[in-house]
């Protein structure tokens, strides 16, 4: 079992741990290094009198360190795994402290397997139906309150939102959380940031952004109130946008979609004290796009996945909903990515047609992934008070690019030549996530705020 450096760095709980882990990834700092199968270990000098003992199981991945850090994995565990990724450690007999940790993990795994083998308790269908109806009633009440609040806001006018304190928005969002509509609560909490500030390149003016966001929320409320009259796939999309979880039973009924999937990019965001990692994939044969989202508690690692620039050779299962996009990884393995163009790349006009088709199915969409083929970077007419804006285009049209510190790096990689570009489009500007130049993919590092790109190996 080996992990790439990119996969290991994606385990970091935050950007500072990522940098600190890279600082510890020097073999000269370590002593007593060794490996037994997927378990690696070593000792490193810290601020204490004794060296810190660090052990990691790459199959988990899981790790433990005697340092006082409360982050998981700590910088020493990240550094140890990075040392092994650069040059696999030699096989050795594990010391007692490593053997004890491994035995403890095996005992806990055996106990968990025993519990899972126990016969499941019979499902109380009446109680289950009662819980479902109780949630439906809570969501319906929250939607009524939200519709009333939106009506009051429209009567006062969008300009009045500039004077609203954050407590006003947070109170409405809290009511939606209590009503078990977390998807709507997230949208409401994002509204205060739209009401103030100047528009950046590739972004709408604050008044436009606020009107658009409120309109999307209003459309979602109307769709939810008429959900019984929607087609099953549209109804599933509405429920997902509101925040209903998709149960394991529903996902088990979804068919597998097996092929080689190109991993285009990773993004990491913080959502309500959770870390959300999104992986974007494109089918090599079908060109289908897939979005895989993993959630973890702040400071906890997420499971390893193929890095941007690799392939995932295996099957996905798509969540119910229209348009289909979100999926889960099923069986498969990471594989080298062959050089070549961006799978499913299109001209600008065709990409915009795809965006319009997605909006027709789900008009409350906040953004949609676009794959552009054979585009060039250039300057758009002056934006706002003379600020230069970048754009991309071809003979069929052009798109503004969102202001981002990485744009100069993207432009430098392109070097004036036609390239393929992947990013998220919101109707105003495109936020780039990956670029393919001369058959090589350059991805924006998921947790690295610096204006750099990462070229796939």
The answer to whether residues 136 and 210 belong to one domain is yes
**DSSP conformational letter for 181:** -
Q: How many domains in the chain?
A: 4
The answer to whether residues 12 and 105 belong to one domain is yes
* Spatial CB neighbours of 184, under 8 Å, sequence gap ≥ 6: 142, 146, 176, 217, 220, 221, 241, 242, 243
The answer to whether residues 297 and 201 belong to one domain is no
Q: Which residue has the tokens 């402290």?
A: 97
- Say if residues 211 and 158 touch (Cβ distance below 8 Å): yes
The answer to whether residues 61 and 151 belong to one domain is no
- Residue 342: inside a domain: no
**Among 299, 290, 309, 303, residue whose Cα is nearest residue 57:** 303
Question: Range of 283's domain?
Answer: 255-335
CA 319 to CA 173: how far, in whole Å? 26
Residue 167 burial class via C-beta count within 10 angstroms: exposed 0-12, middle 13-18, buried 19 and up? exposed
Residue 134 burial class via C-beta count within 10 angstroms: exposed 0-12, middle 13-18, buried 19 and up? exposed
The answer to whether residues 53 and 92 belong to one domain is yes
Strand order in the sheet with 52-57: 30-36, 39-44, 52-57, 62-65
| Neighbouring C-beta atoms of residue 212, cutoff 10 Å | 16
The answer to whether residues 226 and 286 belong to one domain is no
Phi/psi of residue 168, each to 5°? -65, -50
Rg (CA), the chain: 24
- Residue 390: inside a domain: yes
- Say if residues 368 and 357 touch (Cβ distance below 8 Å): no
- Say if residues 262 and 281 touch (Cβ distance below 8 Å): yes
Is there a cis peptide before residue 61, judged by omega within 30 degrees of 0? Answer: yes
Residue 176 burial class via C-beta count within 10 angstroms: exposed 0-12, middle 13-18, buried 19 and up? buried
CA 147 to CA 413: how far, in whole Å? 48
- Residue 248: inside a domain: no
The answer to whether residues 307 and 377 belong to one domain is no
Residue 196 is predicted with a pLDDT of 66
For residues 152, 158, 162, 168, the Cα torsion angle rounded to the nearest 10 degrees is 30
The answer to whether residues 217 and 275 belong to one domain is no
- Residue 340: inside a domain: no
- Residue 217: inside a domain: yes
Residue 54 is predicted with a pLDDT of 95
User: Which two tokens mark 82?
Assistant: 């990075």
The answer to whether residues 11 and 107 belong to one domain is yes
For residues 162, 168, 170, 173, the Cα torsion angle rounded to the nearest 10 degrees is -100
| Neighbouring C-beta atoms of residue 45, cutoff 10 Å | 12
Q: Of the residues 195, 221, 242, which one is the last residue of a structural domain?
A: 242
Q: Of the residues 217, 242, 267, which one is the last residue of a structural domain?
A: 242
Phi/psi of residue 37, each to 5°? 70, -120
Question: Tens-of-pLDDT digits for all 457 residues of the chain?
Answer: 567 887 788 788 777 888 899 999 999 999 999 999 999 999 999 877 889 999 999 887 889 999 988 888 899 999 999 999 999 999 999 999 999 999 988 888 777 777 766 776 776 778 878 888 999 999 999 999 999 999 998 898 888 888 888 888 999 999 999 999 999 999 999 898 887 655 566 677 888 889 999 999 999 999 999 999 999 999 999 999 999 988 888 888 899 999 999 999 988 877 667 778 899 999 999 999 999 998 877 656 677 788 888 899 999 999 999 999 999 998 888 888 888 899 999 999 999 999 999 999 999 999 999 999 999 998 876 554 445 578 999 999 999 988 777 788 888 889 899 999 999 999 988 999 999 999 888 887 655 444 344 454 4
Residue 203 burial class via C-beta count within 10 angstroms: exposed 0-12, middle 13-18, buried 19 and up? buried
The answer to whether residues 236 and 184 belong to one domain is yes
Residue 114 is predicted with a pLDDT of 76
The answer to whether residues 109 and 140 belong to one domain is no
* Helix/strand number for the chain, H first, E second: 13, 16
- Say if residues 406 and 451 touch (Cβ distance below 8 Å): yes
Q: Is the dihedral of CA 66, 70, 76, 81 positive or negative?
A: positive
User: Which two tokens mark 39?
Assistant: 């378990």
- Residue 282: inside a domain: yes
452: left (phi over 0), alpha (psi -120 to 50) or beta: beta
SS3 309: coil
CA 8 to CA 73: how far, in whole Å? 10
- Residue 379: inside a domain: yes
- Residue 343: inside a domain: no
The answer to whether residues 17 and 108 belong to one domain is yes
Q: Where are the alpha helices (DSSP H) in 157-201?
A: 166-178, 182-189, 192-195
- Per-residue DSSP letters for 384-424? TTTEEEEEEEETTEEEEBPP-TTHHHHHHHHTTS-EEEEEE
**Among 279, 288, 236, 278, residue whose Cα is nearest residue 258:** 288
Residue 451 is predicted with a pLDDT of 38
Q: Of the residues 219, 242, 265, which one is the last residue of a structural domain?
A: 242
pLDDT in tens, 359-414: 999 999 999 999 999 999 988 765 544 455 789 999 999 999 887 777 888 888 89
């Amino acid at each position: 079992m080996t992990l790439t450096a990119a996969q290991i760095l994606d385990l970091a709980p935050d950007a500072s741990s990522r940098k600190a882990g890279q600082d510890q990834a020097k073999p000269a700092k370590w002593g007593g290094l060794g490996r037994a199968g997927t378990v690696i270990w070593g000792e490193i000098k810290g601020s204490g009198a004794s060296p810190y003992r660090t052990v990691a199981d790459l199959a988990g991945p899981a790790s433990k360190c005697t340092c006082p850090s409360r982050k998981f994995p700590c910088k020493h565990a990240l550094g140890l795994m990075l040392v092994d990724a650069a040059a696999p450690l030699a096989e050795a007999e594990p010391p007692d402290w490593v053997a004890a940790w491994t035995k403890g993990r095996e005992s806990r795994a055996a106990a968990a397997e025993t519990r899972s083998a126990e016969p499941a308790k019979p499902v109380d269908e009446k109680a289950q139906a009662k819980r479902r109806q109780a949630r439906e009633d809570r969501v319906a009440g929250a939607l009524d309150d939200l519709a009333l609040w939106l009506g009051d806001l429209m009567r006062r006018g969008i300009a009045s939102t500039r004077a609203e304190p954050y407590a006003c928005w947070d109170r409405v969002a809290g009511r939606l959380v209590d009503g078990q509509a977390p998807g709507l609560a997230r949208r409401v909490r994002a509204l205060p940031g739209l009401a103030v500030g100047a528009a950046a390149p590739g972004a709408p003016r604050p008044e436009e952004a606020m009107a658009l966001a409120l309109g999307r929320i209003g459309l979602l409320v109307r769709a939810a109130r008429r959900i019984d009259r929607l087609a099953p796939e549209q109804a599933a999309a509405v429920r997902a946008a509101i925040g209903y979880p998709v149960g394991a039973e529903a996902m088990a009924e979804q068919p597998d979609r097996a092929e080689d999937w190109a991993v285009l990019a990773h993004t990491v965001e913080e959502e309500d004290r959770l870390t959300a990692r999104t992986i974007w994939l494109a089918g090599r044969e079908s060109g289908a796009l897939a979005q895989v989202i993993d959630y973890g508690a702040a400071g906890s690692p997420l499971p390893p996945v193929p890095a941007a620039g690799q392939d995932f050779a295996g099957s996905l299962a798509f969540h119910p909903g229209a348009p289909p996009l979100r999926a889960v990884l099923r069986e498969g393995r990471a594989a080298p990515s062959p050089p070549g163009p961006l799978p499913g790349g299109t001209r600008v006009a065709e990409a915009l047609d795809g965006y319009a088709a997605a909006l027709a199915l789900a008009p409350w969409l906040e953004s949609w992934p676009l794959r552009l083929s054979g585009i060039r970077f250039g300057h758009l007419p002056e934006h706002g008070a003379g600020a230069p804006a970048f754009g991309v285009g071809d003979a069929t049209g052009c798109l503004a690019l969102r202001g981002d510190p990485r744009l100069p790096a993207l432009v430098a990689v392109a070097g004036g030549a036609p390239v393929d570009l992947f990013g998220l489009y919101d109707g105003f500007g495109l936020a780039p996530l990956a670029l393919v130049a001369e058959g090589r993919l350059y991805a924006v590092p998921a947790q690295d705020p610096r204006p750099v790109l990462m070229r796939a190996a």
